[in-house]
Every structure is written in C-alpha cells, then in structure tokens.
Amino acid sequence: DAGVIQSPRHEVTEMGQEVTLRCKPISGHDYLFWYRQTMMRGLELLIYFNNNVPIDDSGMPEDRFSAKMPNASFSTLKIQPSEPRDSAVYFCASSYPRSGDYNEQFFGPGTRLTVL
C-alpha cells in the first residue's frame, strides 16, 4: 500500500512567489494534518482536517498561509507571498482513528522548502 505522498520533495523559490505544496493521504484515512519543522521551533501543527473539513487552523502562522482539502484524496498548503522565514520542511500526515482510540499518524516524506 502506498503511504502518504507529498509533492514536490524539494522546492526553491524566491521571496514573494506563490508556493503550493501537495499531499495525498493514505486511502481510507479521514484525518489529515499539515506540520512544519524547523530547527528553531521543532515540529508545529499548522492545520488539520477531518472528512475534508478544517477542524483547527490555529497553528497557521498568518494569512499568507492557506490550506484546502477538496476531496478525501488530496490536500494543498499554499503560501502567498512566500518569505525567507517560511523555509522549512513541511510534512503531511494522515490517520484513521478507530472508535475510542487514537491511531498513529503516518507521515509523508516531507517537502523541503527554501525561500531565497
């Protein structure tokens, strides 16, 4: 079975440009998470969805960041305009909690974003 798929794996862009990161969760998983990892702040949850609906976006740093999940098999994280401080590794994860339990989150390989 395919795991969580993210694209692109690496992205280098210039300040001010729009960046779109993509994620395909594991089939059947109804929770999807977007994380950012930096040396300074570690792993931060940006936003998560349940059944394609955003549940908590309190971790989104500012209005330049937006996320969508148009269907159960696809999500995007967009940064517009990008800034050098957005440089980080962005992870997507998915999960399928069983009733009364919390399953582990399965992570994609990450997208390494560099904003010059």
Partner 1 sequence: AQKVTQAQTEISVVEKEDVTLDCVYETRDTTYYLFWYKQPPSGELVFLIRRNSFDEQNEISGRYSWNFQKSTSSFNFTITASQVVDSAVYFCALIMDSNYQLIWGAGTKLIIKP
CB of 59 to partner 1, least distance (A): 9
Q: Does 7 bind partner 1 (CB under 8 A)?
A: no
Cβ proximity to partner 1: between 74 and 106 the closer is 106
- Provide DSSP, 58-83: TT--STTEEEEEEETTEEEEEESS--
CB of 107 to partner 1, least distance (A): 4
Cβ proximity to partner 1: between 58 and 71 the closer is 58
Identify which of 57, 83, 69 has the alpha carbon closest to the alpha carbon of residue 22: 69
Site of interaction with partner 1 (CB under 8 A): 31, 33, 42-43, 45, 48, 55-56, 89, 91, 93, 97, 101-110, 112
